[in-house]
Amino acid sequence: MSIHIAAEKGQIAKTVLFPGDPLRAKFIAENFLEDVTQYTTIRNMFGFTGKYKGVPVSVQGSGMGIPSAMIYAEELFTDYDVDTIIRIGTAGGMKEEVKVRDIVLGQGATTDSSVLKNIFRDQVSFAALADFDVLYHAYRIGQEHNLGPIHVGNILSSDRFYNEELDNAKLADYGILAVEMEAAGIYAVAAKHHKRALAMCTISDHLITGEVTSAQEREQTFTNMMKIALETACHLADK
What residues make contact with ligand HPA under the rule CB under 6 A? 90-92, 158, 161, 179-181, 204-205, 207
Contacts of 189 (CB under 8 A, 6+ apart): 70, 73, 74, 77, 195, 197
Smallest distance from ligand HPA to CB 158, Å? 5
Which residue, 50 or 93, has its beta carbon nearer to ligand HPA? 93
CA–CA gap between residue 228 and residue 234 (Å, rounded): 10
Find out whether 58 and 47 touch, Cβ atoms under 8 Å. Answer: yes
Q: Which residue is nearest to ligand HPA (CB)?
A: 92
17 or 171: whose CB is closer to ligand HPA?
171
Q: How far is the CB of 125 from ligand HPA (least distance, A)?
A: 21
By beta-carbon proximity to ligand HPA, the closer residue of 137 and 151 is 151
Tell me the closest approach of the beta carbon of residue 201 to ligand HPA, in angstroms. Answer: 7
**Comparison of 29 and 66: residue with beta carbon closer to ligand HPA:** 66
Rounded least distance, CB 130 to ligand HPA, Å = 18
Is 205 among the residues known to form the active site?
yes
- Spell out the alpha helix ranges (H) of the chain: 22-32, 66-79, 115-120, 132-144, 168-173, 183-192, 215-238
Count each helix (H run) and each strand (E run) in the chain, helices first: 7, 10
Given the residues 21, 112, 133, 205, select the one marked as catalytic.
205
Would you say 233 and 17 are in contact if contact means Cβ atoms under 8 Å apart? yes
Residues marked as catalytic: 205
